[in-house]
Amino acid sequence: MTEEERPPGVKAAKGKKKKNVEGKETLSQFQTMWEIKEKDLVSKDKLSRMWILDHLLAKQEPLDEFENALRKKLIDELLSN
């Protein structure tokens, strides 16, 4: 063996070390993206509920029993948050 040659397996060991670091970075990025996605889903759900409530409040004719119950439920949820 000359001074420039490495023992067998050194390159493989170095490659595995670098892959683990990349895997951790990828996991971190995925977790960050998932947290953002969760916040986005919560916001969309809240907007959807507000849209339904808006339409129930804007309705001119009298509300049915289930619509009235839904309106009360949505108002309670909106005020509790």
Closest by CA to 71, choosing from 59, 57, 61, is: 57
pLDDT, mean over the chain: 85
The full set of domain ranges for the chain reads 10-80
Residue 17 has pLDDT above 80, yes or no: no
pLDDT at 38: 98
* DSSP element (H, E) containing 63: none
Can you read off the two tokens belonging to residue 60?
A: 């001119």
Q: How many whole angstroms separate alpha carbon 43 and alpha carbon 55?
A: 18
pTM of full prediction above 0.85: no
CA angle 20, 22, 33 (to 5 degrees): 125
Question: What pLDDT, on the 0 to 100 scale, is given for residue 22?
Answer: 64
Q: Where is pLDDT greater, at 27 or 39?
A: 39
